Amino acid sequence: MNLNFLSSKYRNSVIDQATSGDVPVEYDDLINLSIGDPDINTPQLIIDRAFKDACNGHTKYTASRGYPELRAAICDFYKSRYNMDVKDEEVFVSTAGSVAMYITMQAILDEGDEVIIIEPYFFPYPDQVKMAGGVPVFVKTSMENNFQIDFDALEAAVTDKTKCIIINTPNNPTGICYTYETLGKLAEFAIKHDLVVAADDIYTSFTYTEEKFMPIASFPGMKERTITINSFSKNFIMTGFRVGNIIAPDYIIRVIQTINENVVYTAPSISQRAALHGLHHFDEFEDDVVNVFRERVEYAHKRLSEIPWVDVLPVSGSFYIFPSIKKTGLTSAQFSQKLFNECHVRVIPGRAFGESGEYHIRISCTLGIDKLKEAFDRMEKMTF
Ligand X SMILES: Cc1ncc(COP(=O)(O)O)c(C=O)c1O
Query: Which positions lie near ligand X, rule CB under 6 A?
Result: 36, 96-98, 122, 168, 172, 200, 202, 231, 233, 239, 244
To 10 degrees, the CA torsion angle through 153, 156, 159, 162? 10
Of 96 and 132, which CB lies nearer to ligand X in the complex structure?
96
Q: How far is the CB of 81 from ligand X (least distance, A)?
A: 19
Of 244 and 278, which CB lies nearer to ligand X in the complex structure?
244
H or E stretch covering 163: strand 162-167
Of 121 and 376, which CB lies nearer to ligand X in the complex structure?
121
To 10 degrees, the CA torsion angle through 71, 171, 227, 223? 90
Asked if residue 156 lies in contact with residue 302, where contact means CB atoms within 8 angstroms, the answer is no
Phi, psi of 66 (to 5 degrees): 110, 165
Of 34 and 98, which CB lies nearer to ligand X in the complex structure?
98
Asked if residue 322 lies in contact with residue 301, where contact means CB atoms within 8 angstroms, the answer is no
Of 245 and 343, which CB lies nearer to ligand X in the complex structure?
245
Distance of CA 20 to the CA centre of its chain: 26
CA–CA separation, 146 and 171 (whole Å): 12
Q: Taking CB positions, which residue lies at the least distance from ligand X? A: 97
Of 117 and 339, which CB lies nearer to ligand X in the complex structure?
117
Kindly report each contact of residues 256-264 with a partner whose C-beta sits within 8 Å and lies 24 or more positions away, as own/partner. Answer: 256/92, 256/103, 256/104, 256/107, 257/64, 257/65, 257/92, 259/103, 259/106, 259/107, 260/64, 260/92, 260/94, 260/95, 260/99, 260/103, 261/64, 263/99, 263/103, 264/95, 264/99
Q: How far is the CB of 199 from ligand X (least distance, A)?
A: 11
Of 252 and 275, which CB lies nearer to ligand X in the complex structure?
275
Question: Does residue 276 sit in helix, strand or coil?
Answer: helix
Q: How far is the CB of 92 from ligand X (least distance, A)?
A: 14
Q: How far is the CB of 173 from ligand X (least distance, A)?
A: 8
Q: How far is the CB of 233 from ligand X (least distance, A)?
A: 3
User: Which DSSP string do the residues of 183-251 spell out, in sequence order?
Assistant: HHHHHHHHHHTT-EEEEE---TT-B-SSS----GGGSTT-GGGEEEEEESTTTTT-GGG--EEEE--HH
Phi, psi of 178 (to 5 degrees): -70, 140
Asked if residue 358 lies in contact with residue 211, where contact means CB atoms within 8 angstroms, the answer is no
Q: How far is the CB of 56 from ligand X (least distance, A)?
A: 26
Residue 383: name the closest of 332, 344, 330, 322 by CA: 330
Q: How far is the CB of 125 from ligand X (least distance, A)?
A: 8
What is the DSSP-derived secondary structure letter of residue 315? P
CA–CA separation, 275 and 91 (whole Å): 14
Q: How far is the CB of 380 from ligand X (least distance, A)?
A: 27
Q: How far is the CB of 168 from ligand X (least distance, A)?
A: 5
Of 67 and 353, which CB lies nearer to ligand X in the complex structure?
353
Of 73 and 379, which CB lies nearer to ligand X in the complex structure?
73
Of 290 and 382, which CB lies nearer to ligand X in the complex structure?
290
Q: How far is the CB of 162 from ligand X (least distance, A)?
A: 21
